[in-house]
Amino acid sequence: MMAITKADIENDFDNKLLRRRELRVALEFDGGTPSREEIKKGLADKLNLKQDNLVIVRAGQLYGSRKGSVLVHEYYDAEAMRMAQKHVLERPKAKGKKEAKPQTATAAAPAAKEGEAEKK
């Protein structure tokens, strides 16, 4: 687990219409690049934020350094999180859980044509 050693808020915007705070945070961390879940946990600890209401929108790292920048949305409550874009909410869950795609008729068609060619 990578430890976030420093978190400085660069920009803080209170978006009352969408019921969230939009934070741009500069991070410093030990080891390799932390995962989104590690970033959420580290920001919640360092900045006294509620981890359940945090959504990591964008995370980047300066090449070859242990510094990065993160765009985080802190929603006021769970009801406000429903307004968040679905693909942003699903990002931490999507990694490593790819489902096998079922074979479609178009993929099976070339194999059927090969079988017909052998019979002739």
Provide the pLDDT for residue 71: 93
C-alpha span between 74 and 108 (Å, rounded):
47
**In whole numbers, what is the pLDDT of the chain averaged over residues?**
78
Strand order in the sheet with 67-75: 4-15, 20-29, 67-75, 54-61
* Ramachandran angles phi, psi of 62, nearest 5°: -75, 130
Question: What's the sign of the alpha-carbon dihedral 46, 59, 17, 77?
Answer: negative
Provide the pLDDT for residue 119: 56
C-alpha span between 19 and 4 (Å, rounded):
27
Structural domains present in the chain: 4-97 (3.30.70.330)
| pLDDT tens, residue by residue, 65-112 | 889 899 999 988 887 777 766 666 676 665 555 554 555 555 555 555
Provide the pLDDT for residue 14: 94
Helices (H) and strands (E) in the chain, counts: 4, 4
pLDDT band at 36 (very low <50, low <70, confident <90, very high): confident
Mean pLDDT value of segment 23-35: 88
Whole-structure pTM value: 0.68
